[in-house]
Amino acid sequence: MEIRNYINGHFIDSLSKKNIEVKNPANQNVVGFIDEALDEEIDLAFAAAKNAFEKRVLQDMDAAHKSKIMRLIADKLREYKNSSSIILSQENGKTIKQCEGEFDGAANVFDYYAGLTDKIENKLIPSGKDSFNYTILEPYGVSLQIVPWNYPIALFARSVAVSLVVGNTIVIKPPELCPISSNIFGKIFSEVQMPNGILNIVHGYGDKTGKKLVDHKSVNQIVFTGSPEVASEILKKTADRIIPCHLELGGKSAAIIYPDANIDQAVESTVKGIFKPNAGQICVAMSRAIVHHKVKDEYITKLNQKTKELNIGPGNDEKSDVTPLISKEQLQRVTNYCHSGVQSGANLITGGKQQEIHNGNFFKPTIFDNVDINSTIAREEIFGPVISIFNFENEEEAIKIVNSTDYGLASGVFTSDDQKAKWTADRIEAGVIWHNDWFVDGVNLPGGGYKKSGYGRDGGIDSLYSYGQTKRVSKRLN
């Protein structure tokens, strides 16, 4: 796999003469190195993207031709899935099966948006017999996109595919903790003969390269997925320039489990929602369960049993259920949160500590019960395999608990009563509500945050309008 930066249609030799070491989180072995982009590479990337935008390469491209190229990208992602998934697993830690699913998902995203290239219809607005008015969706220009480390391929594809449809050119920074696999996009874009300058991939540390990218004068839009703290810094840095930002941030997603729920289904969804997906390192993880007191004992007993059956291990072991955390820093962060939970008086049912395996960043699946809604583990995003359980007496109390954090990315409700599910969904402050399962998703479905979980929507047709702006054209008729 290429380790260089991809700028203006080519992988270029390093100008900074610096690189970044990439480690396998399962054992600390060195996976490889990636070239670090600094001032010269950054300027070249923005110059290429700006030139391609000013020449209207994407805007004037025939819709059918653009669709064909995007479908070729999807085909190539599937073609390179097996070899690239091994690299992604090594640098990110997820199971190879999960990584393969991520590449399949990325391919599906390009296929879906390829079908929309000729379906953005201008609107004619009637306003009397002597005027002619219509609106069109136009791109912002050069879109700076900063991708997180938990699902780098999927989130790379998500923002790039939409940008291609709308017409933004792209400068994108993959995560420094697992950057190598993202370079497959540069290889693919060259192979499908995407015009130069439309996609530019630059690598580097967030606190160095990331800041330089955000400060660059050629930025017209910023797409950021990550923590609210970093998003706040980006907003402050871009405030004077009034740069539009599209933000998907943290989450503290909760499931409300009513007494008429299928408890076995709720338990399976919990395991799938917090422990198995990348060791809980996902912004929509089920990190809270709000359970009616009549069924809480049954739920906890069954969840504890399922949790103890989970296999902790590296991503290259097909038997692994819970894979390593991304770094030693993240491992310590999760450890500290669990210590905080115990100190706050929560009941630690299982887990709560690191698992020693080959010097890897493994953490035991953890269940806390009787958690104070004002405690740190109840309110802050842990980003690990840790769930906090609360009990409730009535529907209003459940809603109060689920809405008690600063986040609002996703949530869920488990009940056999559709009317109760609708009543609950109407009152939860979150961008996505799941009913009787977790991760009920598709590329044609929009998602995004409320409150500190960000704004803008990704997925489906809605996302087109988060990556573009409306222009009105009006003419006075003679």
Cα separations in angstroms, 201 against 104, 146, 292, 431? 21, 10, 48, 30
Active-site residue flag, 283: yes
Would you give the distance in Å from CA 89 to the centre of its chain?
17
Q: What are phi and psi of 3, to 5 degrees?
A: -120, 5
Measure the CA–CA gap between 74 and 59, rounded to whole angstroms. 21
Of 36, 248, 338, 381, catalytic: 248
| Burial class of residue 95 (count of CB atoms within 10 Å of its CB; 0-12, 13-18, 19+) | buried
Contact 202, 7 (CB under 8 A): yes
| Burial class of residue 248 (count of CB atoms within 10 Å of its CB; 0-12, 13-18, 19+) | buried
Measure the CA–CA gap between 449 and 471, rounded to whole angstroms. 26
Measure the CA–CA gap between 271 and 274, rounded to whole angstroms. 6
Of 99, 178, 245, 283, catalytic: 283
Around 445, how many Cα atoms within 13 Å sit in the side-chain half-sphere?
9
Q: Which two tokens stand for residue 393?
A: 């007496």
Cα separations in angstroms, 411 against 41, 283, 284? 41, 11, 8
Number of H helices, E strands in the chain: 14, 24
Contact 156, 175 (CB under 8 A): no
> First CA to last CA across the chain, in angstroms?
62
Active-site residue flag, 268: no
Contact 380, 337 (CB under 8 A): yes
Contacts of 382 (CB under 8 A, 6+ apart): 280, 287, 333, 334, 337
Measure the CA–CA gap between 229 and 311, rounded to whole angstroms. 33
Question: What are the beta bridge partners of residue 169?
Answer: 142
R_g (Cα) of the chain, nearest Å: 23
Could you give the residue numbers annotated as active site?
A: 248, 283
